[in-house]
Amino acid sequence: MGKMHNQLQEYEKLETILNNIGDGLVVLDDHQSIILLNPAARNIFAVQDKDPEGKNIFSVIDHEDLKTLLSRQNEDPMAVHEIYFEDDKVFSAQYSTIPEIGMAVTFHNITHLKQNDRKKNDFINTISHDLRSPLTAINGYVDLLERVGPINEKQKEFIRRIQLSVGTSTALINDLLELGRIESGNTSLDISIQFDSILKEALGSFKLQIEQKKIHLAISLSKKVPSINGNPLRIRQLIDNLLGNALKYSPENGKILVSLGVESGQLRFQVSDDGPGIPAEDQPHIFDQFFRGSNISTTVDGSGLGLSIVKSIVDLHKGRIWVDSPGDGGAVFTVAIPINQG
């Protein structure tokens, strides 16, 4: 009797905890039927059903972001996902598999973090715009110096260094502004696009650089590549950044492999090179803003924002990106983007 009483007390304690925590919790069986839906989750999704247990999650909660998270859990699980609501609230949804039960999804309110992020981006955009004007003026006047009188070789060298510094600063500012535009979430994604067509155009634009560096380029494209919903300008930007990086870090007579195919209902785009590679300790940070590999010389141009821009574009298209780099050099960047449904 005492043991049963203790078990009842433990159950009541657990129920009290689940009913009073601020994070939403949904527990489902292997068939996506509801085992548990705590009050916080009910409030988040405005669930009216007073007895949802045993019912399919989608008959109780109709939300596209949640459907995306759960529909991919068998083939390509997304451990963390963001759930957006019409009132501008944003929740971080974390998915976990529970052996012999099913799965659990927790929902944590990150609206304030998103708002702070927007404020940060607004600040960066304002400062970037304010900095670009004087840099343009500096560049303009430096270009005029040779027109107003003779310049000796030493002065020419100083002018060249000024132009390089201004160019580097301008490129950094442009990347910051571009990143802000992407992360603002205002990019239209309702265009049906052919990734392979955009890739072929991008490869054509790099033809001269590839020839100058004597790069051995290998291309592997599936014969039939389905369309995806997205933004063609951003996809082109993604491709250009990855190809540009591979070209920048590959040695002369190096090899670059570009492949595009379909796997597990997703478009798989890969770019591999035989450059210096990415040290294991750097790989978790490679998509962070301003991060540059510890094995990359400071003489190599770059703002440290290119891969961050790529990551933001991939996130925008509900996809994933990751890097594989063995210890003996070279790197393989893989992008997976969902194919249009229906």
Please indicate, yes or no, whether residues 331 and 205 belong to a single structural domain of this protein: yes
Cα(111)–Cα(119) distance, integer angstroms: 12
Q: Do the beta carbons of residue 342 and residue 323 sit within 8 Å?
A: no
Confidence at residue 259, expressed as pLDDT on a 0 to 100 scale: 94
Please write the tens of the pLDDT for every residue from 169-206: 887 777 777 777 776 666 667 788 899 999 999 998 88
Please indicate, yes or no, whether residues 201 and 172 belong to a single structural domain of this protein: no
Please indicate, yes or no, whether residues 7 and 67 belong to a single structural domain of this protein: yes
- Looking at the DSSP bridge assignments, the partners of residue 336 are 268, 320
* CATH of residue 20: 3.30.450.20
C-alpha angle 73-77-82 in degrees, rounded to nearest 5: 100
Please indicate, yes or no, whether residues 203 and 286 belong to a single structural domain of this protein: yes
Q: What values do phi and psi take at 158, rounded to 5?
A: -65, -40
Please indicate, yes or no, whether residues 11 and 145 belong to a single structural domain of this protein: no
Cα(300)–Cα(310) distance, integer angstroms: 19
Task: Compute, in degrees rounded to 10, the torsion defined by CA atoms 282, 252, 272, 182.
Answer: 70
8 SS3 class: helix
Please indicate, yes or no, whether residues 130 and 77 belong to a single structural domain of this protein: no
Q: Do the beta carbons of residue 210 and residue 342 sit within 8 Å?
A: no
Please indicate, yes or no, whether residues 86 and 211 belong to a single structural domain of this protein: no
Please indicate, yes or no, whether residues 83 and 62 belong to a single structural domain of this protein: yes
Q: Do the beta carbons of residue 35 and residue 27 sit within 8 Å?
A: yes
Domain boundary among 76, 91, 109: 109
Q: What values do phi and psi take at 145, rounded to 5?
A: -55, -45
Q: How confident is the model at residue 271 (pLDDT cuts 50, 70, 90)?
A: very high
Max CA pair span of the chain: 103
Cα(269)–Cα(37) distance, integer angstroms: 38
Handedness of CA 192, 341, 224, 264 (dihedral sign): positive
Examine the pLDDT at 342 and tell me if it is beyond 50: no
Cα(189)–Cα(120) distance, integer angstroms: 24
Q: How confident is the model at residue 292 (pLDDT cuts 50, 70, 90)?
A: low
Give 39-75 as a DSSP string: HHHHHHTT---S--TTSBHHHH---HHHHHHHHTTTT
Q: Which residues contact 96 (CB under 8 A, 6 or more apart)?
A: 79, 103, 104, 105, 106
Q: Please state the rounded mean pLDDT for residues 99-120.
A: 85
- Percentage of the chain surpassing pLDDT 70? 87
Please indicate, yes or no, whether residues 91 and 170 belong to a single structural domain of this protein: no
Q: Which residues contact 337 (CB under 8 A, 6 or more apart)?
A: 195, 228, 230, 266, 267, 269, 314, 317, 318, 319
Please indicate, yes or no, whether residues 202 and 304 belong to a single structural domain of this protein: yes
Confidence at residue 173, expressed as pLDDT on a 0 to 100 scale: 78
Domain count, the chain: 3
Q: How confident is the model at residue 108 (pLDDT cuts 50, 70, 90)?
A: very high
> What is the pTM assigned to this prediction?
0.58
Please indicate, yes or no, whether residues 156 and 289 belong to a single structural domain of this protein: no
Please indicate, yes or no, whether residues 325 and 208 belong to a single structural domain of this protein: yes
Domain boundary among 183, 214, 245: 183
Q: Do the beta carbons of residue 47 and residue 37 sit within 8 Å?
A: yes
Task: Of 32-46, 111-125, 224-238, give the lowest mean pLDDT range.
Answer: 111-125
* CATH of residue 219: 3.30.565.10
Q: Whole domain around residue 164: which residue ranges? A: 113-183
Q: How far is CA 295 from CA 277, 279, 322, 329, in A?
A: 8, 7, 19, 11
Domain boundary among 65, 80, 109: 109
Residue type, 43: N
